[in-house]
Structures are given as C-alpha cells and as structure tokens.
Chains A and B, each alone.
Chain A
Amino acid sequence: MPGYNDAFKDIPGTTVFDATQSRLGYHLNMFCMSLMKAENRAAFKADERGYLAQFPMSDAQRQAVLDRDYNRMIALGGNIYFLAKIGATDGHSFQNLAAKMTGMSEEAYRSMMIAGGRPAQGHRSRSDPSR
C-alpha cells in the first residue's frame, strides 16, 4: 500500500504505531506488559535498573524508562497503551502522562481540557501549519 504510512507523517506531534515502530519497540512494550502483574510492579519499583536489565532492550530505551521520558519512549517504539502501565505503576493518571508529553504542567493541561481541549485548527498539518 504505497503512501499509506507516509500520509500520517504530515500530522504534527503524532507518532503512528506502524510496523517500523512496533519492530523497534517490541521489547520495550513487552517490558511494559510485564507490569500487569502486581509482583512484577513491586520488583520493578524495588530495583528499576535491575528489572530493566532482564529485557533485551536498547540502553537508550532503558534510560528513557528511568527518565520517564514518554516522548522519547514513543520515538524508540513505545506505544502509549503499553507505556501507560509504567504510569499506572507510578500511580499517575493518563492525564498526568499526557500533560508531561505536551510539556505543560498538569494544572495547565487540565485547564486546557476543561476549556474544550487543544483545537484541531493549526494542528492538522506540518506542511501547512495554518490548517
């Protein structure tokens, strides 16, 4: 399907979880999946580096997890539904993670949402920022 994946790349601030991202992030996402079990969450919290070492991830992926740098994790193949399990382990809401990724304070992000959210206008296209 030529062009299918490329069409999404014009959308700003957005990473589509396509085959490339999925292959890149497989072990990062499978680490996240392990946090579905309470005993694994406890083991991760007790020794984050040691726990991450069990998964065949890149050093950059491990560091992004330790830094809780969600945008970096997404760039390295993480998918938000998997990454949310790190947030849940930390006791953070989805809104808290979303605020982090936008670079806003949680309060400012929450206020933006109450005011109707981020408008589509001006956020549709990299090639035409006026759209």
Chain B
Amino acid sequence: MARITAGVTSSHVPAVGAALDLGKTADPYWQPLFAGFEASKRWMAEHTPDVVVLVYNDHASAFSLEVVPTFAIGCAASFPPADEGWGPRPVPVVEGHPELAWHIAQSTILDEFDMTIVNRMDVDHGLTVPLSLMFGQPARWPCKVIPLAVNVVQYPPPTGNRCFQLGKAIRRAVESFDADLDVQVWGTGGMSHQLQGPRAGLINREFDTMFLDRLVADPEGLAQLPHVDYVREAGSEGIELVMWLIMRGALAPDAREVYRFYHVPASNTAVGHLILENPT
C-alpha cells in the first residue's frame, strides 16, 4: 500500500523564485534564506518520495474570478508553469500522478469532501517555488506531483479545521491506494505577511513561532483559530497558513519535527519551513 512518510511546509514567495531564476542566490540579501534550505535539500536527497501531494494556492493564475473552487485536485498527467505576467518561470514541467490523484479525489469525495477535479491547470509560483527550494534546479523534477489548490484569495477560505480534516481524509485515501508508493504531503504559503494597503509589510515573529510550535504539538487546537486571528496577527496574506493544516492532518499525530527554519524577510514575507517525519 502507499504510505505518507513525511510532511514539509514552506513559504512560496515569488521573489524567491525570481532570485533563483536570475542567479542571485549568493547575493547578501538572499544568501541567508537559501542557506537555510541547504539542510533541507540534503534531507530531500535521502528522502526523495515517489509522489508529493503539494497543497498551495493559486494566485489568480489558473483560476480567475470566473470559477473559484475551495479545494481543487490536479488529476492531469502534467502541469505547465504559468505565465504570471512576466513569462513562465524557467522550471521543468510538473509531472502528475493521475492514478493516485483520481484515487484521492474519489476517496475524499466519498469521505464527504467536495473536491473539484481539474484536468488542465497551469501552476504558478505557489507550487513551483517550494519545489525549487527543496529540489534546487534539476532538468526534471525528481518525483511526481499532485497539485492541491486551496482558495485563500476569495473570502471565505476554508476554515483551519476543515483543512485539518481534509488532511486526515487524504491520509486515508493514500493508505488505501494499492501500490508501493512513498508519498509526502507539503503545505505551502505563509508565514506572516501582508501585501496590500497601508498595513503592508506586517511581520509577526511571535505569532509565527507559536504557529510552528502548535502545528507540530497541538494541531487539533490550532485548527480552531478563526480567520480573523490569522489576518489580525499574521497579515492579510498570512491566511495562507490554513493550508499548512492540510499537511499536518495528513501526518500522524506523533509525527516528529526533524528540521525548522525561519527567516525575515524575503521581499514582504516571513519565510517559515518545517520538515516532519512520520514514525516508521
């Protein structure tokens, strides 16, 4: 049977992708950030999964306001990088895992999560920046990726608890898939940041640290945090953190933190990163 072995969380700042693509990773501004992911890349080299279920949000790239799915799972064989206004990122096409994706769609829908099935989708920085941070700049991504897009743009986004429960449903789905696959679940976005209005630039290290601690040790309690607290404490775009709870729900309650990194700033954003391993 397929099994979930580990979870990763990471911010997905577009400027991080630009810094990588333009060869600026050694610049004094960016060096501390990329240095923080060196250990992650070493860990990943030893723990490369067969498939990553990558939870992210689309930033008005694949989904405009015409259709706004709360949870959308990519079931296609491949997903091209999106043109977000300055041309697509020069990164490999993302290869999907249609069999597992369809299985997760069927399993979670029958488990009463109303997933949207997507067969054509360009993927933006929300998905490709975490891949770049964890895998570097390979000619081809070393594993299959199932994109799981969560609406955090149009209010209301799903509650933290709904995300946490969906994570548990994804775990049930993966563990009932009849193939010997090593699967990781990644939650991306966050941490504290606000990109809009006179309050732009808000960073809240105290909140972020609390969120990281409780995501590991008390996810059930953390899942009860109301949306208004995310926006007040972590900035309007800090609401992306609800997606991390999907990753956490997909892992075992006693999953172990093996790596943590936190850095301010990447452009407008506090970058937070965790690696959790499931007990074997």
Partner of B199, one of A33, A84, A109, A118: A118
A/B pair count, beta carbons within 8 Å:
161
Q: Which of A13-21, A50-58, A61-69 contacts B (4 or more CB under 8 A)?
A: A13-21
Instruction: List 6 A-B pairs, minimum CB-CB distance, nearest first.
Output: A117-B203, A88-B85, A13-B199, A13-B198, A113-B265, A98-B200
Q: Known: A5-B155, A95-B15. Contact between A30 and B64, CB under 8 A?
A: yes
CB-based contact B85/A118 at 8 Å: no
Residues in A lying within 8 Å of B, measured CB to CB: 1, 4-5, 7-8, 10-19, 22, 26, 29-30, 32-33, 35-38, 41, 70-71, 74, 79-82, 84-85, 87-89, 91, 93-95, 97-99, 101-103, 109, 112-114, 116-120, 123-125
Known: A79-B153, A95-B267. A12 touches B64 (CB 8 A): no
12 inter-chain pairs at a CB distance below 8 angstroms, sorted by A residue, are A8-B231, A13-B197, A15-B196, A16-B155, A74-B196, A89-B85, A94-B15, A95-B15, A98-B268, A116-B203, A120-B207, A124-B233
CB distance from B201 to the nearest CB of A (A): 4
Q: Assuming A11-B232, A16-B236, is B83 touching A101 (CB within 8 A)?
A: no
Q: Could you say which interface size class chain B belongs to?
A: 35 or more
Within 8 A of A (CB), among B159-177: none
From residue A31, how far is it (CB to closest CB) to chain B in Å? 11
Give Cα A19–Cα B86 distance, bound, in whole angstroms: 29
